[in-house]
Amino acid sequence: MKKIARFFIIVIISAFSALAAQTKKDYPLQPVPFTRVALTDAFWLPRIETNRTVTIPFILKKNEETGRIDNFAIAGGLMQGKYRGERYNDTDVYKWIEGASYSLQVHPDPELDKYLDGVIAKIAAAQEPDGYLFTARTTDPAHPQPGIGPERWVEENVSHELYNAGHLYEAAVAHFQATGKRALLDVAIKNADLVASVFGPDKRHGFPGHQEIELALVKLCRVTGNEKYLNLAKYFLDQRGHDVKLTQYPPGNRFAIYNDAEQIQAHKPIFEQDEAVGHAVRAAYMFPARPMWRR
């Protein structure tokens, strides 16, 4: 009995030590998971129910009507057609998956769960063998959408390649946490591994013009335990304000506003930025992480 007791004590101590080590690497204060909070009030509960029964189905309908989901099927060779929409349209599907997954975590819905599986299968089909996933290019590589450049990773100030990837990672994490299924998470990991193989101190230099992948890489690190993703997020942030070379667009071009590094918060290193400037949405994705920048 003493040996058994000693064994369990060692297991318990080891578990707490591992938990403590993991906690030290993250924020010292952690929010309560929303899955452990039950709302019964007259203000938030009806709105959450409206989100589940009206908003999520409506967004799905719009993603279908506008060809956003079809873009994945076309890129994956599952159907014929041409790309529809802007270069960032993939993200609307990813954000719908993320929202639907959050809903599933607190309100199981077998029909929604099954539909998500179908959409994720189309996303997986659209992923290229090396992990690249950007339907605005894959659907017709010879005629890429405006603003994404003639080849990969060459117009990062406006292309949204890395921005789209970030929303993919967030969707994958939410879906995995809600269902335990790895289909989308595996797609996200394969893509993140590709990005990590391309960008870095001794690799291709650069950063996303539109912030988002940084916070998503942190979430991916939390789920996988792979600090490579956390280091990549830090690398992208550290690149801002250092020897920035932006693609320049001619006057009158709709992307010309992004010729200015200040517009994408890359005019100074992040610790020297003491004023909010430029594109508001891009800034909002970056500023909340500022307390962790020095960690």
Which pLDDT band holds residue 157 (cuts at 50, 70, 90)?
Answer: very high
Residue 19 has pLDDT above 60, yes or no: no
- 154's CB contacts (< 8 A; 6+ apart) are 247
For position 125, what pLDDT does the model report?
98
Could you tell me the maximum CA-CA distance found in the chain, to the nearest angstrom? 81
pLDDT in tens, 49-103: 999 999 999 999 999 999 999 999 999 999 999 999 999 999 999 999 999 999 9
pLDDT in tens, 120-137: 999 999 999 999 999 999
For position 290, what pLDDT does the model report?
53
DSSP string, 256-286: GGGGSGGGGT-SS-GGG--S--S-HHHHHHH
Q: What does the block give as tokens for 117? A: 């599986």
pLDDT in tens, 179-196: 999 999 999 999 999 999
Domain ranges of the chain: 34-292
